[in-house]
Amino acid sequence: MQEYCVGPAEAIAEGGRLVVDCDGIEVGVFRLKGALVAWHNVCPHRQGPVCQGRIYARVIEPVAADGTTRLLAYAEDEPHLVCPWHGYEFDLETGRCQGRAAMRLRPARLREDGGVVYVSL
């Protein structure tokens, strides 16, 4: 397993990301709720550059007591990553696809040492 230096941890702001090339393999490193997560930049649908997609809060549809729904809302504490190719949506913390439970992002091993971030592939 090869380890690659991503850069200083402080370079990735809360809610931000850094997509790095590790000898031809791209990895996206994201900061969520203070912690870092890393995913391979390959969408499990058709191999699109998922880590370069937009980040949105998960959309929810509250159901009233009478069973009706009238509006959409956002779960602000559940950031989702939307693949730029076909719009598949992934939970940024778990990598799980919102619409297809069996589909997940591939994680990359992450290590922080002395304020510097490394990924292992």
| Residue in 4, 11, 26, 45 binding ligand FES, rule: CB under 6 A | 45
For residue 59, what are the CA distances in angstroms to 14, 56, 86, 90?
Answer: 20, 8, 17, 12
| Beta carbons of 67 and 79 less than 8 angstroms apart | no
> Residue 71 Cβ, how far from ligand FES at the closest point, in Å?
27
Q: Can you tell me the distance from the alpha carbon of 104 to that of 107, in angstroms, rounded to the nearest whole number?
A: 9
Which range binds ligand FES by CB under 6 A, 11-19, 24-32, 64-72, 80-88? 80-88
Determine if 38 is a binding residue for ligand FES (CB under 6 A): no
- Work out which of 17, 30, 48, 51 binds ligand FES, going by CB under 6 A: 48
